[in-house]
Structure 1
Amino acid sequence: MAQQELGQWRDLAQLREEIDQLDQQLQTLLNQRAQCAQQVAQVKTATEGEDTQFYRPEREAQVLRRIMERNTGPLSNEEMARLFREVMSACLALERPIKVAYLGPEGTFTQQAALKHFGHSAICLPMAAIDEVFREVEAGSVDYGVVPIENSTEGVISHTLDSFMDSGLQISGEVVLRIHQHLLLGENTRPDKISTIYSHASSLAQCRKWIDAHYPGVERVPMPSNAEAARKVCGEWHSAAIAGDMAAQLYGLKKHAENIEDTPDNATRFLIIGRHTTPASGEDKTSLMLSMRNQPGALYQLLEVFNRHQVDMTRIESRPSRSGAWNYVFFIDCTGHQQEPRIQTMLAELGERAAEMKVLGSYPKGVL
């Protein structure tokens, strides 16, 4: 072996030894952090009793923001935050495993969003419908629920908005998930023999142009979820599913075409729902449900309040009200927390002008 190659092998061995030492230090520090988490649980239980809240959304958002602010690389801010997200999830599980209901079945984008927000140490339970997620949280069977609220391409998820009308649950967080859609095939199907494509109606719409270009004559069949579509094609001939990576791995399907969504920045926003209000984290949103009196200029009077108080409205949607025909309920997201004086003043004025107002929750802006 040449002298230069021998030197390189020695350098490599030295680097590996350094990595081993760093791994040992990391392992020691991680266990020390876990011990602190257990002590926190003991203190909380002693002072708060049975109503102890082990998971604090505002606290975790603050920690993740600080991690991203002080990160120096070469790992990206988001990658570093994801690593700490899993550390925090594992430590929280030592205090008490958190139970989370999500729109199932297994392999949906909603499950992916739940894992992104709570980490893989959370106990995630699939539900068949959005209203079932709400019921499980309301009943106390789970700590939190994860439901989709809007897609950047196809707009609002009306079932989620409608569920808030009859629910007393609070929004405690949000998570935005970049959506990549793939055409998935089972082992019994050849690409040139596809006669049916299954997927959720929203996903079929997100990939409409791609399907028109590549499979214009193929039947498109809406399914309750992408994961259900993936499961269906496992045992069928001449069919395909449009779904994401998690569904492909779960059901052992082959990606015939990747990233077939028509819009490159296609993303879906999900809400975290729970039974408790969330204190301010420093960078928050507030969501409201408002019904206005049926009179001229009602919507202008509503929007004028936000403008005068210099509060940024990030989203507004309307849904038919259940109180009567041609009456509407407005769902609004704005920046700020309901504990802030200016938001309190604005809410008080909105309450005077609206026929009905409900604060759906103040919560940290999505970090990951």
Structure 2
Amino acid sequence: MDLTAVRARLDQIDTQLLDLFCERLRLAGDVAAAKAETGKAIFDPAREREKLFGVAKRTPEEYRPQATALFSLLMSMNKAEQQRILAAGKPDSISAQARASLQPVDEPFPATATVACQGVEGAYSQIAATRLFRTPGITYFGTFEGVCRAVRDGLCQYGVLPIENSTAGSVNAVYDLIAAYRFHIVRSIRVKIDHNLLAKPGTDLASIREVWSHEQALAQCADYLDSLGVRVHVCENTAQAASAVAQSERTDVAALSSRACAALYGLDVLASDVQDSDANYTRFVVISAEPQIFPGATRTSLMLTVSHEPGALYRVLERFFALDINIVKLESRPIPGRDFEFIFYFDLDCPVGSASLATLLDALDDVCERYWYFGSYTEVL
């Protein structure tokens, strides 16, 4: 059989496959209705296992991996369709809540707002806030929890918090607080972090015996600090370290901080850009007590847990693949007190108005133990 004939036969087979695939998805409505009536869960592991076993037994051995992968994906698509159908009439579904929080197309992200930040003037969170809002009214708090309480209690409309660093990874405490307070991410920005060694005027670099800063800044400059042979002291944030050095009577201490803090606190720059990596960025997010999705949102953030069993994470990833949703971040961390179980952070690249995202938001319950939808937003670069 020549190539033209082979391709013609493949086209015939593909047409049959497509027709059968569409019919299979249409039957998802009948399956969903039957399960809703009987109270059965969407995910039936015994049925799925039996189905895949039968597929493997009927498939020639050399094609078994491909066949089981294909049918696993088909079942995942079918389950997602069932979830979509069942959620369609529920006003409290995640997708319905997301649609309800969409702002009018002529309502841009606010230029002026009251904003809570952790730290003091000159902190990187303040730098992020002034880039996110044209004229923010900033109130400072000593802890991330303080920022969250201010937003929860209505003292500030928004909070700005660091959520991820390109070298140190996710800020787990912030993820946990967003989940605990049921906050929503409405914007994010990447800020280039350039650490500078700051000291009182007239101080010589050779006289420095101790460096103060936030623990992540100290970690990001570990090689440089090792070369100096200095001790380190952890502060709440980099700007607070600069303020403390300025107020200290010691002449052998310096701070790792932003260049803006040098002018702000009357310090000299002893060394510039001392971080170990030039590609050092921190992502900051804007949190809100109320769900808000502004026009043009393409980034979605989720946090979820899965059961401790083989294939648990695969079923989640398979659902993303089935819906053609791009994952731009996947990170895990252990769940305290639960051996070998993990929390997973996902950032997705998908327009907020897409049918795929709406389906996904209503189609995760059967493939994970629990998940949090943090919101859909625009990331400012």
Name the TM-score, length of structure 2 as normaliser: 0.68
Residue 242, structure 1, aligned to residue 256, structure 2:
yes
**Corresponding residue SS for 2:363:** helix
Residue 137, structure 1, aligned to residue 185, structure 2:
no
Cα distance in 1 for partners of 2:106, 2:379 equals 10
104-113 or 203-212, which deviates more: 203-212
**Corresponding residue SS for 1:232:** helix
Report the Cα offset of residue 277 of structure 1: 2.2
Counterpart of 1:233? 245
Q: 1:176 to 1:265 in 2, by over 3 A?
A: same
Q: 1:243 to 1:316 in 2, by over 3 A?
A: same
Cα distance in 2 for partners of 1:178, 1:59 equals 29
Cα distance in 1 for partners of 2:314, 2:210 equals 47
Counterpart of 1:172? 186
TM alignment of 1:52-201, pairs within 5 A: 59-60=107-108, 89=111, 92=112, 98-119=113-134, 121-187=135-201, 189-201=203-215
Counterpart of 2:366? 352
Cα contact 2:107–2:295 (8 A) shared by 1: yes
Cα distance in 2 for partners of 1:256, 1:56 equals 50
- The number of equivalent residue pairs is 278
217-226 or 174-183, which deviates more: 217-226
Counterpart of 2:275? 261
**Corresponding residue SS for 1:310:** coil
Cα distance in 2 for partners of 1:330, 1:220 equals 32
Counterpart of 2:376? 362
Report the Cα offset of residue 199 of structure 1: 1.0
Cα contact 1:290–1:330 (8 A) shared by 2: yes
Larger Rg: 2
**Corresponding residue SS for 1:177:** strand
Report the Cα offset of residue 109 of structure 1: 0.5
Q: Which residue of the other structure, out of 195, 220, 231, is the alignment partner of 2:232?
A: 220
Counterpart of 2:78? none
Q: 1:352 to 1:302 in 2, by over 3 A?
A: same
Q: Which residue of the other structure, out of 313, 325, 328, is the alignment partner of 1:299?
A: 313
Name the TM-score, length of structure 1 as normaliser: 0.70
Cα contact 1:58–1:279 (8 A) shared by 2: no
Counterpart of 2:6? none
Gaps of 5+ in 2: 1-100
Cα distance in 2 for partners of 1:186, 1:233 equals 7
**Corresponding residue SS for 2:176:** helix
Cα contact 1:189–1:239 (8 A) shared by 2: no
* Aligned alpha-carbon RMSD (Å): 2.3
Gaps of 5+ in 1: 1-52, 62-87, 93-97
**Corresponding residue SS for 2:364:** helix
Report the Cα offset of residue 168 of structure 1: 1.0
Q: 1:202 to 1:342 in 2, by over 3 A?
A: same
Cα distance in 2 for partners of 1:124, 1:161 equals 22
Q: Which residue of the other structure, out of 342, 346, 358, is the alignment partner of 1:328?
A: 342
Cα distance in 2 for partners of 1:202, 1:58 equals 40
Q: 1:180 to 1:113 in 2, by over 3 A?
A: same
Q: 1:137 to 1:323 in 2, by over 3 A?
A: farther
Cα distance in 1 for partners of 2:131, 2:204 equals 34
TM alignment of 1:303-318, pairs within 5 A: 303-318=317-332
**Corresponding residue SS for 2:362:** helix
Identity across the alignment (%): 30
